[in-house]
Structure 1
């Protein structure tokens, strides 16, 4: 296939097209999931392509857009693009910018219509989609500003209906939308078409669902600052597009992806209407695809290749479905749940049960089975992910005499409330007055900080002084947390990666400077084992971006003669969800005392206590989430018939 031998985008697109039409699972390689032998996707009512590497996904979608743009250019015609905002399409926009810069892709013949805009919203607001599009795409390409159309969020309410009708008329006058790019919200909304939106709806003013507003709270530094209304294209407007690409990434999208792709069409989930569209493709990563039938339970669709990992998943699922311990599963259980071939392969239910029981049991490693005396780095994206996600194993590694360094990759300063800054600055002024001796610099700093905070607007980027105070708060809490685990400030490294230093929730892409900082640390410490956050449900994507920096640094450092010194990589989760017992490589049991110690370390992060600035959809405190997840993992093993433990952490050896 000669067209696939050129650019990465061409190769990605060719592979995606080949896999999505070959009768097998639609996916691009590079994922830990194994779908070998799965040929049936009859439950999927929207064609779905799994591309786990986000750069590859962006190249495939941007490559399709570029092909359409060039095709229309050759015909001397304009092309009409429907564009979306949010974190998911940013990669597509960055790839389009690269194609414009490096390969001469022109946007002179592009007419764009954006999906939506908050209301009311000034176009120059840091939160506006107008500003988002210019910062993330339009300012970097040669599109004619007159061809850019974004719903106007700054109108008087009395003029909204007329503006919406005019927006629809302008789309029609342009010939309709040729290619519509979409994301999907947790409620299944596309654009701002919330639950209950009608199939015949057009561009209009809508009230935002509470889940949508909660999701947006991080961008607005508090749900109370999120507008309650928005202008959005309607379902009928979107369905009129000639081609639709809808993107979803992360574990937190898995449930709604399955509902949209496999569920019945329902006004409660607007994305299900796309099942009636003749040319829609869903692009998802492994995490977002995890609950699709062909991924979660492929044996229900067709014959599968019974590799060990698939067998463990199937038998664990069967035990949970039947409400039995693994060793009590019978021939009847296997037959009633489409797993007879597994019994046939091994001769009897008892043989299968015993194999899976032993495989799961082999994953359990107490302190005596964990490494000793190794040079180890725990990479923590934020200054609390270490104790939240792996506080139990961190303590065990210290007790086993491993040389531990905790590398905090970002300052986490945007996740500190302004009232904490006021409290600390007031403390400093009092300390200066009573003990230090009346330094004018302290009062000057206090005046500067208080003056800024008094006039600060919601979501406004903090001045440098405030950013520094917030950074120092997080750093001091981080040191206090690892001291609970038996470490000291000498074991902490604060990398403060540049990509995070925007002062905004939305970050810069990972760049050479970020990779160089991580690579330098690897060369300096020469670790034999590193812990990396594999938790991809982080609301603002910092975990994913930090992993990208580490992956690139490891690839840069461990080449040639250094390849033999590449450290073992253990992926942890826990801040947002835990590894399933079937996916985990290592399960680390925690006693009641060890879980209590872990929670005490989490408590040291006082700025995140009681009410964290960015809690996601789970409003519980982090220690409560951790306690529930660690106990649930242990309970699952107990229900499967394995040993009963108080709590348990899970890890995947990459």
Structure 2
């Protein structure tokens, strides 16, 4: 499989390389498009580019679109763009807007067709893709509104089939789609072509898969509010585009990316049909690429250049595959799994086994081996990520007399149910009546809140009073959580970063004001260690955005010849995934009592207990996930033949 003329990449090779984008060169890694393994089997059946920085990915894709737009404009021709919605393509749209404003990229000759729309859905609804596209692209550029085509989710059902036929006819009349932008769902859907969609399907109304509806629940403030149907372009329509770019980011997409790129074509995974398209490119970040064979087990594809880090990954994988402890692996095990070259490099299986065993063992740090008496700042994206993800080490740091501060970066107020607001308002009114004397202020606030909540519809942005109550609920829970760990409210900082204060699930981009707040805190506290959420699979993207704000603030504060010494950065996970033992720098064992204490701290976040508003695809409560993941990490070390512990947290020191 090769790239068509004019595509962004037309070469093969396994080394990192530089590609040109709208904003200049972009460094990418592993841009091999076709991966035959040592047996000659083709692994990657869709060209795949791994590029970890999301802004760089956006520039690369937007640059390709801009190039096509300029080429068609120079030839006096229109260009037809197929466009997607969702969080993944927003960066592309922002870059196209920048190119329009700063470099004069004109959309006057662009004709656009959107992939899909929920049904039923009013075009002015906060959830509609019609509104999404105008807010995130069309209203910022010079496109002719008459050239914008989006499926109509407000039609009478009896009119849908005819409208879908007209949509297909309009695409043909425009000359067909020149460039189609896609995202990918966890089921592998493209557009809303759910499992079971046929290769010859066209624009139509479809029933949404339960996984898709659960994934959209955060946007709709509950799965029960997600429409059960949608109008979508069909697979055949998508495959007729001349060029296709499909984007995927985050650990939660890694499995479906591998299935789409390396698996057999299957109606159960619509994206696999893209293997039949002659000019499709997958753009993925490191997290979404993690399960690709060339990333996860490159020694199965070709010769590799062994170093200690790769040896640790490979031997750990081999031990799991053979269900043996590391020190019991034999020459036969290595030979059978294409790893004899690793043994040859070290001289014997025992030498390799010993190396990896010692490397993993050295990562284990009990309380006596953890920092003591250091200024430590824990950044928590939401008001519960600290105790969920690092409750064990937080307690150990307190016991080691480190100077601790926990900075809660956002209010987390959209993740509080309305019924909690009613409950707290009832408490205030009762307290006011019985102990204070029924003041006007409390009664007025209660009336305002109750009137709004009675008339509120799903997904509506809360009024300021309700947002403030939800924020205070979460702040009080956060203080209760760290008190379990031996800290007090004086150790908590509530940053309430501006990017989060939209009242909606979708947030603003990280801006200078967000960075300034974080930078000011760094300058004030002068921490020697900072903990940062490295878990990038949260369903609303807040963890990723908070990390961006921290990274930019660290660069601002600690750059330059007179800058102070930068703190050591510890990355934690836990709410959605855990660091693999091979990637972790530090493994912190927890006793049964310490894990119980951690769970008790999580319980203090009552608004998130029993049924969290944003659970993602995992229906379990956060404490249940934590218990399973921490125990699973220690169980893996036990299986590998290392010391046995009750539970364990994992960290990466950046």
TM-score normalised according to structure 2 size: 0.96
1:506-585 matches, within 5 Å, as: 506-563=506-563, 565-585=565-585
Q: Secondary structure of 1:131's match? A: helix
Whether 1:627 aligns to 2:627 is: yes
Query: For residues 495 and 14 of structure 2, what CA distance do their matches in structure 1 show?
Result: 44
Whether 1:22 aligns to 2:12 is: yes
In the other structure, the counterpart of 1:315 is 315
Moved runs in structure 1, 4+ residues, more than 4 A? 25-41
* 8 Å Cα contact 2:32-2:48 kept in structure 1: no
Whether 1:284 aligns to 2:263 is: no
In the other structure, the counterpart of 1:449 is 449
Structure 1, gaps ≥5 residues long: 1-15
Query: For residues 370 and 283 of structure 2, what CA distance do their matches in structure 1 show?
Result: 39
Q: Secondary structure of 1:560's match? A: coil
* 8 Å Cα contact 1:28-1:49 kept in structure 2: no
In the other structure, the counterpart of 1:12 is none
In the other structure, the counterpart of 1:613 is 613
1:333-412 matches, within 5 Å, as: 333-412=333-412
Shift in Å at residue 33 of structure 1? 12
1:124-203 matches, within 5 Å, as: 124-203=124-203
**CA RMSD, Structure 1 to Structure 2 (Å):** 1.7
Relative to structure 1, the CA distance from residue 37 to residue 126 in structure 2 (aligned partners, 3 Å threshold; closer, same or farther) is closer
Q: Deviation digits for residues 616-638 of structure 1, max 9, x if unmatched?
A: 00000000000000000000000
Relative to structure 1, the CA distance from residue 89 to residue 34 in structure 2 (aligned partners, 3 Å threshold; closer, same or farther) is closer
Relative to structure 1, the CA distance from residue 624 to residue 286 in structure 2 (aligned partners, 3 Å threshold; closer, same or farther) is same
Whether 1:230 aligns to 2:220 is: no
Q: Secondary structure of 2:160's match? A: helix
In the other structure, the counterpart of 1:326 is 326
Whether 1:494 aligns to 2:484 is: no
* 8 Å Cα contact 1:25-1:38 kept in structure 2: no
Q: Deviation digits for residues 96-138 of structure 1, max 9, x if unmatched?
A: 0110111111100000000000001000000000000000000
* 8 Å Cα contact 1:519-1:557 kept in structure 2: yes
* 8 Å Cα contact 2:12-2:33 kept in structure 1: no
* 8 Å Cα contact 1:316-1:582 kept in structure 2: yes
Query: For residues 260 and 32 of structure 1, what CA distance do their matches in structure 2 show?
Result: 24
Q: Secondary structure of 1:247's match? A: strand
In the other structure, the counterpart of 1:5 is none
Query: For residues 26 and 231 of structure 1, what CA distance do their matches in structure 2 show?
Result: 40
* 8 Å Cα contact 1:182-1:191 kept in structure 2: yes
Relative to structure 1, the CA distance from residue 34 to residue 598 in structure 2 (aligned partners, 3 Å threshold; closer, same or farther) is farther
Query: For residues 387 and 572 of structure 1, what CA distance do their matches in structure 2 show?
Result: 11
Q: Secondary structure of 1:286's match? A: coil
Q: Secondary structure of 1:404's match? A: strand
Shift in Å at residue 21 of structure 1? 1.9
Query: For residues 558 and 311 of structure 2, what CA distance do their matches in structure 1 show?
Result: 34
Query: For residues 344 and 580 of structure 1, what CA distance do their matches in structure 2 show?
Result: 27
Relative to structure 1, the CA distance from residue 288 to residue 385 in structure 2 (aligned partners, 3 Å threshold; closer, same or farther) is same
In the other structure, the counterpart of 2:22 is none
TM-score normalised according to structure 1 size: 0.96
Q: Secondary structure of 2:274's match? A: helix
Q: Deviation digits for residues 287-309 of structure 1, max 9, x if unmatched?
A: 00000000000000011111111
Q: Secondary structure of 1:163's match? A: helix
Query: For residues 303 and 278 of structure 1, what CA distance do their matches in structure 2 show?
Result: 29
Q: Deviation digits for residues 241-278 of structure 1, max 9, x if unmatched?
A: 00000000000000000000000000000000000000
1:4-153 matches, within 5 Å, as: 17=8, 21-24=11-14, 40=35, 42-153=42-153
Q: Secondary structure of 1:496's match? A: coil
* 8 Å Cα contact 1:186-1:253 kept in structure 2: yes
Query: For residues 138 and 442 of structure 1, what CA distance do their matches in structure 2 show?
Result: 44
Q: Deviation digits for residues 215-252 of structure 1, max 9, x if unmatched?
A: 00000000000000000000000000000000000000
Query: For residues 143 and 351 of structure 2, what CA distance do their matches in structure 1 show?
Result: 65
* 8 Å Cα contact 1:204-1:234 kept in structure 2: yes
Shift in Å at residue 436 of structure 1? 1.3
In the other structure, the counterpart of 2:4 is none
Q: Secondary structure of 1:602's match? A: helix
Relative to structure 1, the CA distance from residue 27 to residue 245 in structure 2 (aligned partners, 3 Å threshold; closer, same or farther) is farther
Query: For residues 442 and 213 of structure 1, what CA distance do their matches in structure 2 show?
Result: 39
Query: For residues 174 and 404 of structure 2, what CA distance do their matches in structure 1 show?
Result: 61
In the other structure, the counterpart of 2:647 is 647
* 8 Å Cα contact 1:28-1:51 kept in structure 2: no
Relative to structure 1, the CA distance from residue 487 to residue 289 in structure 2 (aligned partners, 3 Å threshold; closer, same or farther) is same
Q: Deviation digits for residues 569-625 of structure 1, max 9, x if unmatched?
A: 000000001000000000000000000000000000000000000000000000000
In the other structure, the counterpart of 2:413 is 413
Q: Secondary structure of 1:267's match? A: coil
In the other structure, the counterpart of 1:210 is 210
Relative to structure 1, the CA distance from residue 612 to residue 514 in structure 2 (aligned partners, 3 Å threshold; closer, same or farther) is same
Relative to structure 1, the CA distance from residue 55 to residue 590 in structure 2 (aligned partners, 3 Å threshold; closer, same or farther) is same
Query: For residues 215 and 270 of structure 2, what CA distance do their matches in structure 1 show?
Result: 17
Shift in Å at residue 40 of structure 1? 4.2
Query: For residues 27 and 646 of structure 1, what CA distance do their matches in structure 2 show?
Result: 44
Relative to structure 1, the CA distance from residue 503 to residue 404 in structure 2 (aligned partners, 3 Å threshold; closer, same or farther) is same
Q: Deviation digits for residues 350-384 of structure 1, max 9, x if unmatched?
A: 00000000000000000000001111100000000
Structure 2, gaps ≥5 residues long: 1-6, 20-24, 37-41
In the other structure, the counterpart of 1:482 is 482
Relative to structure 1, the CA distance from residue 277 to residue 25 in structure 2 (aligned partners, 3 Å threshold; closer, same or farther) is farther
Relative to structure 1, the CA distance from residue 34 to residue 578 in structure 2 (aligned partners, 3 Å threshold; closer, same or farther) is farther
* 8 Å Cα contact 1:23-1:39 kept in structure 2: no
Shift in Å at residue 35 of structure 1? 6.5
Q: Deviation digits for residues 195-218 of structure 1, max 9, x if unmatched?
A: 000000000000000000000000
Shift in Å at residue 430 of structure 1? 0.2
Query: For residues 230 and 501 of structure 2, what CA distance do their matches in structure 1 show?
Result: 30
* 8 Å Cα contact 1:377-1:531 kept in structure 2: yes
Shift in Å at residue 561 of structure 1? 3.4
